[in-house]
Amino acid sequence: MIHKISAEPRVSEKSARLPTLAGIFYPSEAEDLKQTLAAFFDGTVTSVSNPKGILVPHAGFIYSGPCAAVSYARVSPDFDGTFVVIGTSHKGYANSVSDLDWDTPIGTVLADTEFADAVSLQKNNDIFRDQENSLETQMPFIAYRFPKAKVCAVLMGDQSLKGVAEVAEAVLCAVSKTNRDIIIVASGDCSHYVPAKKAETDDLTCLAALKNLDVSAFYDALYAIQPSMCGYGCLAATAEIGKALGAKEAWVLTYTTSGDASGDYSAVVGYASVEVI
């Protein structure tokens, strides 16, 4: 007897975004991932401050996971609002928004579709399906620690001051329209492939310039020092949004490098945990 072979499932416009980096950047098995995340938070000494925004790194969890947990631990696990995750577009896509759900090995992070619809950026779900670590690496943290929360994902290709203003205005417009309780997650790594001492000096000098949420001063420091940072525009947009929502300062909570995991400090990637509060 000949059986009809079902067609391969097709990804529709509204199908959840599949995890493309499981088993590469973080464990692909649910229990392994839960244990990894639990260890990160168990090893984090911090308290809940409910910031308006946070900076988190987006490297492989073995390198940047503990640093990311420091930022996420500042948010109450009972948070049931919307995380607006602003990630660097490593492929240079235009500033865009998505209303996709995000599958992870430990569950699906639901999109806040109403909020995403209110964000005045172009919507292009197709580009969000591409492998992009700046966004995907945040979803397991959210799925694990904040089961009541939703997300709105933003890709930021234009990290100029003009791009920062565009993203900040678009998100604030959505807040005004929806009255959502949001926390901004800026996804970004610091200096790339320089000696650890130089990375730390350059990165912390630039981040210190943002202490009073002065984005112009931050960009002046970036121009002067020229650190190989990834996601500086995402952090600047977070500062602008946070300031509009009542934040006063940006604090560096911790700073680490890939050398802390690898033991090689000759050419590192820097990771910072920052809260905008």
pLDDT digits (tens, 9 = 90+) for 264-277: 999 999 999 999 99
Superfamily holding 30-253+267-276: LigB-like (3.40.830.10)
Q: What is the pLDDT of residue 235?
A: 98
From residue 74, alpha-carbon distances to 46, 52, 187, 204, 251 in Å are 7, 10, 16, 20, 12
Rounded to an integer, the average pLDDT of 13-23 is 91
Report whether pLDDT(6) > 60: no
Q: Which tens digits make up the pLDDT trace of 44-92?
A: 988 999 999 999 999 999 999 999 999 999 999 999 999 999 999 999 9
Alpha-carbon distance of 66 to 247, in angstroms, equals 25
Alpha-carbon distance of 115 to 175, in angstroms, equals 8
Q: What is the pLDDT of residue 250?
A: 98
Domain ranges for the chain, please list them.
30-253+267-276
Alpha-carbon distance of 92 to 106, in angstroms, equals 29
> What six digits make up the tokens of 256?
């680490």
What residue ranges in the chain does DSSP mark as E strands? 53-56, 82-88, 96-98, 102-104, 107-109, 122-123, 150-156, 182-187, 192-194, 250-257, 268-276
From residue 230, alpha-carbon distances to 119, 163, 276 in Å are 23, 15, 18
Q: Which tens digits make up the pLDDT trace of 154-165?
A: 999 999 999 999
Enter the pTM of the model.
0.94
Q: What is the pLDDT of residue 45?
A: 87
Q: Which tens digits make up the pLDDT trace of 191-244?
A: 999 999 999 999 999 999 999 999 999 999 999 999 999 999 999 999 999 999
